[in-house]
Amino acid sequence: MEQDAVEDETNPDKASEEPAERPGDELASVLVVVEQDAPSGDAEGQLRAGVVAFWHGQNEYGFIRPDEPGEQDVRVSVEALEGYAEPLPHLAKGERVLYEAAPSEMRSDGGTHRQEDRQRAIRVLPAQGRQRGVVSEYSFMHGHGTITADDGTRYFLHRSHVLGDDYQAVDRRDQVFFTVDESDTRSSGDPAATAVKLGDPRPALYRFAQFPYLGQWLGPLAKKAAQEEWRYHHEHAAERTPYPILRHYIEATFERLLEEQRLGHPTILEGTAPSRGSYAIFDTGLVDGMRRPIYALFDEHRASDDPRGWWWRAFVTEDEGPMREVAELPSPADYLEDPSALAITPDEVATMRVDTKHILGDHLDRFPAHLRSDPDLARQVFEGELRELPDRIRRNYRLAVAQYYRGSIHLLLPLHLSGASRRASLALVVERTTAGVRRASTVLGNDHAYQQARVIARPETDWLAHAWIEPDEASPTKPSEGT
């Protein structure tokens, strides 16, 4: 089944002041590893089976749901993991595990001590033998690709088999762990990989360098940059993470810079400063109040055994003290190599293929309330909007707002689904397939759409800026998770 290419990367961690994730090597070398089946129980029968129900990557804790019906979820922290070969020790939602549990520790509560009813895991092991490999091919548009195992065997990878919250981002060169379903041969006879777990699920920025607590580095960047709103207003308004749009912006910008660096562009530069040793630097794409570019500056990591080579130092402009020893300034991210990708013609809108089943079937919860309760009416209103879009684009080509996602530029078109409101209710995502055909793949809420568009440029005078800035009471409050 064809999948849409736009992934929701706006599921920020709920804690607001937590350290960045643990160390991980971005391109860790792949060794031949086949993990043996863990024992079904030890001598005293203490190991039990369960499934990871939740994992907080930043705080490094989660909950295991026991296989036994009626049993309460068991709390687990990263310190309990044993026998995992991932470069970043972690669990993933949906992962099967074996664990040993013990009563929770006593906690102080207002001068008194109490013990929680919930048990805690003191040992957690992989529940079944796994293989290791790398993603050698992957199509974001179709949602499938190929894993090449350590022994060279090819396995079919489908996004539905990737563990984690909603749909985890998968890219070529990602290290993965997986099990095999020999009976599933959906691609050229290759057996299918199941229970696919990313070796390091962190964005590339946090594999490149270590950062302090979110507020300690995002706050200074928000203060230094020209005044801008970096918080959600709509479906993600309850999010407590500081500056969530800014966080997504800098993560996505670094991924683009990394792509360009691999092509030989001078986007992430390294050098040596006489007073402090090695440094790394990249252009954030942001400017301060005087329109001066802001750079991210890094010192060599303090721990020699940490796979991340760098430690964040500061965000600076070129005339500030630390920049005096920087020999060359890096280039900013470039999204304009194909200007034709930034516009769409009325004929393309009229003939684009629309994934109606996915939009109305999987994401009706993103529609205004009066349409969520009436699927037939939602279809009528949605199809009516599609019929009007070509003429609206003909009258104002600027209605198409560009967004960048995983190596491709997509366009966002406004959908006015509430007759009483002049503001757009949703953004329709339109991508260009490998065959050159336009395809409307999904819809996004205003928070999600603005965040995605902000990666390329700050929406200012178009419909998306107005729809995002001005609250719309008809908008759903449920986050637009997934795609």
**Of 126, 150, 171, the domain-final residue:** 126
Residues in the chain: 483
Residue 5 lies in a domain: no
* CATH code: domain of residue 168: 2.40.50.140
Partnered with residue 311 across adjacent β-strands are 210, 299
Residue 7 lies in a domain: no
**Residue 193 shares a structural domain with residue 220:** no
**Residue 314 shares a structural domain with residue 377:** no
Distances (CA, A) of 26 to 19, 204, 271: 18, 7, 20
Which residue range forms the structural domain that includes residue 430? Answer: 339-469
- pLDDT tens-place values along the chain, 483 residues long: 333 433 333 333 333 333 333 333 333 333 334 444 444 444 345 799 999 999 988 788 999 999 999 899 999 999 999 999 998 899 999 999 999 999 877 665 555 555 567 899 999 999 777 899 999 988 766 678 899 999 999 999 988 899 986 556 788 889 999 999 877 666 567 889 999 999 988 888 998 999 998 889 999 999 999 999 999 988 888 888 899 999 999 999 999 999 899 889 999 999 999 888 999 999 999 999 999 999 999 999 888 777 788 999 999 999 998 999 998 999 999 998 888 888 999 999 999 999 999 899 989 999 999 999 999 999 999 999 999 999 999 999 989 999 988 778 999 999 999 876 678 999 999 999 888 899 999 999 999 999 999 999 998 756 777 676 665 554 444 444 444
Residue 372 lies in a domain: yes
**Of 325, 359, 386, the domain-final residue:** 325
Task: Report the number of distinct structural domains present in the chain.
Answer: 4
Residue 36 lies in a domain: no
**Of 171, 198, 225, the domain-final residue:** 198
**Residue 152 shares a structural domain with residue 111:** no
Residue 357 lies in a domain: yes
**Residue 274 shares a structural domain with residue 392:** no
Residue 183 lies in a domain: yes
Residue 480 lies in a domain: no
**Residue 230 shares a structural domain with residue 177:** no
Residue 88 lies in a domain: yes
**Residue 111 shares a structural domain with residue 149:** no
**Residue 315 shares a structural domain with residue 209:** yes
**Residue 461 shares a structural domain with residue 353:** yes
Those residues whose C-beta lies under 8 Å from the C-beta of residue 176, and which sit 6 or more positions away, are: 132, 133, 134, 135, 147, 157, 170, 193, 196, 197, 198, 199
Read off the pTM: 0.75
Residue with tokens 């600076």: 316
Give the DSSP per-residue string, 180-204.
EETT---BTTBPEEEEEEES--S-H
**Residue 208 shares a structural domain with residue 194:** no
